[in-house]
Amino acid sequence: MDCLVSVGAKSWTAELGPEDRTAALAAMENGQVVFLPQLDFTFREAEKKFLTPVWSNGSAKNISYDASNKSIRGMKGDSAIRDELAALLQRYADATRSLMHNLLPTYALGLIRGRTSFRPVEIKGRPTKVTKDDTRLHPDSFPARPSGGKRIIRVFCNVNPEGKGRDWRIGEPFPSFAAKFLPRLKRPVVGSRELMYLLRVTRSWRTDYDHYMLALHDAGKLDDEYQKHATQYSFSFPAHSTWICFTDEVLHAVDAGQYLLEQTYLLPVEAMARPQQSPLRVLERLAGRPLV
């Protein structure tokens, strides 16, 4: 099965036909990537000054924006410049929402908007610790923001002004990855999750599902043999293209690239056409018990 399914959308807001919608829904639920090669996000002339890594504060991986309270993090600069980048990220957040409503209307009602990010730093050669290293294959799982079983959808747009692609690798299907690693994982330590919640290490209770997803994410990244020998498919997403996938399911790694916009959404598994395909249901079948 191919990892990518192309959809010819050229605009964030234009109505899409039923073939595009059917293809996109099937791709999402099969754990494929929906690739929109003709969909670009345009920077206004005055916003092109943001196409340099200097605005990044150096400590965070990315500049990140929260549309619910209009706050921006990981960025240097005075309040006027911060407001300007926040406005750009708000525009991207709104564009992705109208695309999601258009392309995946059956998800629209359940969709919960998460953070928006701008990634202006070149990936290649960026030092980081292994479990934070996105050049290693992994499914996404957020340590501080447990999803409680909800799906993670991300909408990426490569906005590189020099025509440079974003080089990804896509790994094996989630069920076979999970079947390999789940038997090696430890159960949560008694009391540890209460403590994390009390100390605000986690924003909400880390469910068993979140515990195992994070442990899978870490175990996969830490296994050098797996990283070297696992089945993987390389693809460079061209500059000025967009792609969408369930990043909690699609094993992915990024080797190189600079300047990316990304919008995160959460989706309750009940909003899926086939909830039994979700990592939550896959892990519950493997574990033989409910995990949330």
Extended beta strands in the chain, E state: 4-6, 33-36, 63-66, 71-73, 112-119, 151-158, 166-170, 233-237, 242-246, 252-256, 260-267
How far apart, in whole angstroms, are the C-alpha atoms of residue 156 and residue 120? 13
Minimum distance from residue 30 beta carbon to ligand SIN (Å): 20
Minimum distance from residue 247 beta carbon to Fe ion (Å): 5
* Per-residue interface string for the shown chain with Fe ion, residues 191-220, x marking contact by CB under 5 A: ------------------------------
Strand-pair partners of 36: 242
Site for Fe ion in 125-154 (CB under 5 A): 140
65 φ/ψ angles, rounded to the nearest 5 degrees: -125, 135
134 or 208: CB nearest ligand SIN: 134
Minimum distance from residue 138 beta carbon to Fe ion (Å): 6
20 or 140: CB nearest Fe ion: 140
Contacts of 114 (CB under 8 A, 6+ apart): 152, 263, 264, 265, 266
Q: 193 is in the binding site of which of ligand SIN, Fe ion, none (Cβ under 5 to 8 A by kind)?
A: none
Minimum distance from residue 213 beta carbon to ligand SIN (Å): 14
Q: 215 is in the binding site of which of Fe ion, ligand SIN, none (Cβ under 5 to 8 A by kind)?
A: none
140 or 208: CB nearest Fe ion: 140
Q: 208 is in the binding site of which of Fe ion, ligand SIN, none (Cβ under 5 to 8 A by kind)?
A: none
**CB atoms near residue 136 (< 10 Å):** 21
Answer whether 227's CB lies under 8 Å from 75's CB.
no
154 or 193: CB nearest Fe ion: 154
Minimum distance from residue 118 beta carbon to ligand SIN (Å): 11
**Two tokens at 271?**
């909003």
Alpha helix (H) residue ranges in the chain: 18-29, 79-103, 105-108, 174-181, 192-198, 208-222, 224-229, 279-287
Q: 147 is in the binding site of which of ligand SIN, Fe ion, none (Cβ under 5 to 8 A by kind)?
A: none
Q: 97 is in the binding site of which of Fe ion, ligand SIN, none (Cβ under 5 to 8 A by kind)?
A: none
140 or 249: CB nearest ligand SIN: 140
How far apart, in whole angstroms, are the C-alpha atoms of residue 292 and residue 284? 9
**Two tokens at 262?**
């990304």
Minimum distance from residue 247 beta carbon to ligand SIN (Å): 6
| Residue of closest CB approach to Fe ion | 140
207 or 247: CB nearest Fe ion: 247
Cα-based torsion angle of the residue sequence 25, 163, 230, 217 in order, rounded to the nearest 10 degrees? -70
Minimum distance from residue 177 beta carbon to ligand SIN (Å): 15
Binding site for ligand SIN (CB under 6 A): 119, 134, 140, 166, 247, 252, 254, 260
Q: Quote the crossing angle between the two packed helices 18-29 and 79-103, to the nearest 10°.
A: 100
Which residue, chain included where needed, has tokens 């949330």? 292
Q: 260 is in the binding site of which of ligand SIN, Fe ion, none (Cβ under 5 to 8 A by kind)?
A: ligand SIN
Order of all β-strands in the sheet with 166-170 = 233-237, 166-170, 252-256
Note the residues at the interface with Fe ion (CB under 5 A): 140
